[in-house]
Amino acid sequence: MSELPKKLAAAVAAFHCSHIDADFNTDARDCMIDIFPSMEDLLLKMATNQTASSRMKELTLELGVEGCSKLFDAATKSYREQDIPCHADLHMFNIMVEKKPQIDLFSEQDDIFGENGTFCICDWEMTMKGPLGLDMGRVYSIPVACILAHAISGNSDVVDGIIAWLNLYWKEYSDTMTKKSGQSTNFLCKSYRNAMAWLGWKLYAISIFEWFVPFFPIESGDVGSLKESVGVVGFTLMKLGFGEGGEGLTVDDLHSRLNSTISDEIDHIKSSRRGRPSLRRKSSILRQSNRRVSDAFKGMGRESLKKMISDLSQVGLDK
């Protein structure tokens, strides 16, 4: 496995132990909170729609309108907390990694990593003093969405590798925060539970706004299934993190609940796709192209990025 998760976790932990003024970049906090009402409105519409049929609707009906609103009340309260310095937008498309050993666009060897695990965190414009777990939730969001995308394509065999990556990240982060920074068990519990909450928030946002969906390893005909699965996992994690479901749980308990939430959805996906052949495993267009871009390009889909790469190659600008 790449050295990246350990090095990334250690770097993030070091940043979280640094100092940042409480009033630094407060406009970024309000900018993000401004989108919460629209997310809540969409959730409440599901909770009150008596005709539509979906698993998300069933989950919202079970929690009720008041319960759904409380999730966003808790999210707003959490986002205003000032526990540690936060990048606040630390998802995978804002982490540039070293060039892979080969650059064949459609190589079968699409799982090769750079040998040094070198990386650079970019797009710091949302940085602020914020809540525990926010950055970890962002880090986990794209990998978890990719787990579900691969499962929908019949490639659930890649799940263990991604889960192992996430587990290694948490182990290194928690070890660094406890051994080098003297943080307590309560600190880790709150960090992990908040991470589940903000991971859920991000997945729910991906589901309703289709953030990053064009970059995921999924066929266009399966995007609807992916959005539903991402939404179900996201909503479940929001209930555990922002609701009452995760109160009083240990880190091990929370870790187990996160894994079971993902595995339960994978089981549902497997049962839903019985009889369908597995598709050839597909990496995201960014990995296939060996391009390292931030979410400044998130409006660019798979086909447009392919064309751009081809055009650059023809004029020799991809060297």
Share of the chain above pLDDT 70, in %: 79
Residue 319: inside a domain: no
CB 269 within 8 A of CB 229: yes
Q: Give the pLDDT of residue 62.
A: 93
The predicted model scores a pTM of 0.84
Please, which residues have CB within 8 angstroms of residue 161's CB and are 6 or more apart in sequence? Answer: 1
Domain count, the chain: 1
- Token duo for residue 29: 């906090």
Structure tokens at 46: 């599901």
The span from the CA of 117 to the CA of 181, in Å, is 24
Domain assignment of residue 197, yes or no: yes
Task: Judge whether 44 lies within some domain.
Answer: yes
In a domain, 170, yes or no: yes
Instruction: Give 99's pLDDT tier (boundaries 50, 70, 90).
Output: confident
């250690």: which residue's tokens? 10
Higher pLDDT, 263 or 282: 263
Give a yes or no: residue 120 inside a domain: yes
The better pLDDT of the pair 135, 282 is held by 135
Report how far residue 274's alpha carbon sits from residue 121's, in angstroms, rounded to the nearest whole number: 40
Q: Look at residue 288 and tell me if it is in a domain.
A: yes
Domain containing 46 equals: 4-314
CATH of the domain at 226: 3.90.1200
pLDDT at 118: 85
Residue 228 lies in a domain: yes
How big is the chain, counted in residues?
A: 319
